Structure 1
C-alpha cells in the first residue's frame, strides 16, 4: 500500500531539513512531498539544495490550499493513503505506522490523537478543543477526542474527495461535515513534540478567533454545505 506524507511548509527554514532527514533516514517506506506555501524565507531554497521532493507554490495559499495541493498530488499519483504532517517537527513519524494499521481496518480517516488514553490538560486552548468536541458530538453524534490535531490520515476515497472538491480545508469543521456525510473516523494515540524553532502563527487572539470560527461553522454553516460525491480510483 502506497502512503504519502504531505508536509505543508510556510517559513520553516529552521525546521524543514531536520523533519525531512528524520523521515528519509528512519521511515523511507513512506513517500513524502513538501508543499512550500509561498514562503518568504529560504524554505524552498533549502529543499532544492537538499534534493527534496517539492511542490513550490508561487504565492501563499494558506494551510487549506497547501494541503489540498498535496492531496491533488496524491490523487494524480494514485496513492492509497495520505497523511497531513507538520513541517515544524511537532508530529512524530513513529506513529504513522499505527495510524496506517488502523486505517487499513476500513476507516476513511484516522486522527493522530493526543487524548485517546491521556487526559487533556486544563488550559484555554484545551477548553476550545473541548467545545469543538462538544459541537461535533451535538451535530454528528460522534465524539472526536482531539478535533484540532493536524495529524490526520486519509484513505483513497477521502483523497479524491479533498482533491476534486473546493473548500475542503483540513480543519475540524470539515471532519464534522464528513462525519455527517457518513465518513468513518478513528483515533490513534500519539505523542507530539513542542516546536523547536520558529514561531506558530496561532497566537492567543488568533487561537480564540479560530475556535469561534470552527464552532460557528460546525454548529450552523455546515448545515448548508453542498457536496459533490466523488469516487476514489
Structure 2
C-alpha cells in the first residue's frame, strides 16, 4: 500500500515563484512507495496565483478570507486529515524550499519520527538568511531548548514534515501568527518525536519577507510571548 503524501503550499501573491515551483514538483521522482498529491492554498492573493495553480495538476483551496500563514497551513492540514494522508509536508510557495530536498524529510520520517524539520543550519550550505535573522533563530533555539529540552536549530523553518499524530494535533489547533516556533512547543508537550535533517534552501523567487531587519527585535519579542503562552496553555 502506498504512503499518501500531501504537499501543503500556503501562497499569498506567489504568481512569479509558483510556475517554476509547481513544474519542479510535478517532475519530482520519488520512490514508488510514495503517492504524492500537491495542494495549493491560496490565501486571498491579489495577483494571478489561482490562475497559475489551475494550469497544473494540483488540488486548490481558494480561501474566502485571508487567514495568514497559520490559518492557511492549518487549512491544508485539515484537508490532510479529512482525506487520510499519512504524511503532510509544508513547503512555502515562494521557492525557498527546493522540491528535490523533500526526499530528505521523507527519509527522516522512516523511523517513525512525528515531526521532521528541514534545517538550513546543520550543514551550513545553501542560503543561510541574513545576519539579523540568524541571530534571532539562534535565540529561538535556546528558548526552545529551555522550554522543551529539544535541540532544534532552525525552529522557524517552514519546510517540515508532519506524520499522522502531528496532523491530528495541528488540524484541531494550530497557532495563527508564528506557527513554526509555537507549534514545536505544542508538539513537544504532546510527547511527539521531533528531529531535524539538513537541507539546502534557496533565496525566495518572488514576493518579499514580512520580517525586515528593522522589525526583527519586535518580532523576537512577540514570538517569545507566543511561545510562552503555548508552553503554559492547557491541552485541548
Distance 2:98 2:135 in 1: 24
1:9 pairs, out of 11, 35, 55, with 11
Does the 8 A contact of 1:90 with 1:195 survive in 2?
yes
2:153 pairs, out of 145, 149, 152, with 145
Distance 1:117 1:67 in 2: 27
Does the 8 A contact of 1:15 with 1:87 survive in 2?
yes
1:110 pairs, out of 112, 116, 130, with 116
What's the secondary structure of 1:107's corresponding residue?
coil
Deviations, residues 66-90 of structure 1 (Å, cap 9, x unaligned): 0000001110111000011010111
Deviations, residues 129-158 of structure 1 (Å, cap 9, x unaligned): 111000111111111111111101000111
Are the structure 2 counterparts of residues 178 and 51 from structure 1 closer, same or farther at C-alpha, using a change threshold of 3 Å?
closer
What's the secondary structure of 2:13's corresponding residue?
coil
**Structure 1 gap ranges (5+):** 229-233
Match of 1:231 in 2: none
**Structure 2 gap ranges (5+):** none
Deviations, residues 150-202 of structure 1 (Å, cap 9, x unaligned): 10100011111111235466320220232133111011100001012322222
Give me the TM-score of the superposition, normalised by structure 1.
0.90
1:213 deviates by: 1.5
Equivalent runs, 1:1-233 vs 2, <5 Å: 1-27=3-29, 29-50=35-56, 52-118=58-124, 123-165=131-173, 167=175, 170-218=179-227, 220-228=228-236
> Which has the larger displacement, 41-50 or 6-15?
41-50
Give me the TM-score of the superposition, normalised by structure 2.
0.89
